[in-house]
Amino acid sequence: MDSAEEPKSAAQIGNIEAVKFTTKFDNLIPALTILEKHDVKISHVESRQSKEFKDCHDFMVVPTTQMNGLKTAIDELKKIGKCVTIVGEDIWIPKHVSDLDRYVDKVLSAGEDLEADHPGFTDAVYRKRRKYFADIALNYKHGESIPRVEYTEDEVKTWNAIYTRLTALYPKHACKEFLEAFPLLQQKCGYSADNIPQLEDISNFLRDRSGFSLRPVAGLLSSRDFLAGLAFRVFHATQYIRHGSKPLYTPEPDVCHELLGHVPMFADPDFAQFSQELGLASLGASEEDVKKLATLYWFTIEFGLCREGKDVKAYGAGILSSFGEIEYCQTDEPERRNFEPEKAAIQEYPITRFQPIYYVADSFKSAKDKMKDYASKIPRSFNVRYNPFTKRIDVIDGTKGVANLVKELQGEVTMLQDTLTKIGSFRE
């Protein structure tokens, strides 16, 4: 296995233009105190309501001092804030699928760390269970089998309530690709009302169908880290389940959302390719462009609709795992727009209520082609290519890289020409 490249340290990244982080408003003073403690002077501070986290604010501070003190301060900020990013640094790009191991402890929330309004906040047993699932993900390394979980009777009961309600709605509202995959998941992966399937079984199934695989995650990842997984055809999936007191509601993705909403679609090759295009486009992109790609993810993989003849069906996991939204999206109340990446990427959206706007794709192939065209316009001094044989990202940033790529493509063209010749001879 190839060794992973070390990310650059703060002493190597040169000038830091700004530091962005998300935290509750009353945590700004502790953040500024950290900067002061390390003699980091700032010339500018901005704040705004966070769109991603309830009751939180996004802050941006512009430092006037650099290097050692700033690096230490940033490390401390990461302990009290969420989504800490550095503007102006060279962006590290994972080169091999094993590099995803670096993200295991970068989740924005995990284990017993629940918000006060979470249904399981005061339930000590549930919080302990959440820590159990988080520990599995935090200890997992690429190449290992995903540990099997023995779900409790209460957890299966919660799954049963959700599974039964949703599967009754799928025939009418889900797209054909979803409906084709679901019976296979029942046959091969143990999908049923009385059984929560295992990530390892599903991962093996998807790998054979589309080259995708699952990887356990302890909680929410940043948009950049999550999209990077898609570049390698890896989907970070949670194993914990929502609190049993509210089986029809979850404030975060859980195993029901992942396995009932996402997994069936990843079994489709065209959808898998579209998802990977989003991930590849994110590698080395600026924070602004990553934000746009995350928005595209929201309007497609989470809340996408597609045309089937005269009908419009759901393929987004946020719809397919929600009893209310799966029916609401088919009413006349929300607005439907044709999927155009340039427009969808800058569209605002709510995260705590049904979507007022949905984007409709003609097909996954057309959506994939549009995404490739959109990605080609993202300003980068290089291009990237995924090699499925080595599970590496090839960064093409010079004449040598282009020459090697041309050589590979020439070999593939020769093979295709030889195949066409043999087919012609056989028919004659």
Task: Give the residue numbers of the binding site for Fe cation.
Answer: 257, 262, 302
Q: Choose the catalytic residue: 155, 321, 322, 325.
A: 321
109 classed as catalytic = no
Residues 59-96 as b/e (b if ≥16 CB within 10 A, e otherwise) read bbbebebbeebbbebbebbeeebbbbbbeebebbbbbb
Rg (C-alpha) for the chain, rounded Å, is: 23
Which of 177, 258, 277, 302 is the catalytic position? 302
CA 305, CA 398: separation in Å to the nearest integer? 39
Q: Which amino acid is at 70?
A: L
Dihedral (Cα; 240, 268, 211, 226), 10-degree rounding: -50
Question: Tokens at residue 343, please?
Answer: 């427009």
Please tell me the distance from the alpha carbon of residue 40 to that of residue 2, in angstroms, as a whole number: 38
Give yes or no: 115 in active site.
no
What are the residues facing 60 on neighbouring strands?
20, 46
| Residues 69, 40 contacting (CB under 8 angstroms) | yes
Query: Is 321 annotated as catalytic?
Result: yes
Q: Is 203 among the catalytic positions? A: no
Distances (CA, A) of 155 to 26, 65, 123, 401: 36, 51, 14, 51
Binding site, residues? 257, 262, 302
Catalytic residue among 96, 118, 243, 262: 262
d(CA 383, CA 89): 19
CB within 8 A of 246, min separation 6: which ones? 119
Closest CA to 362 of 233, 289, 277, 274: 274
Residues tagged active-site? 257, 262, 302, 321
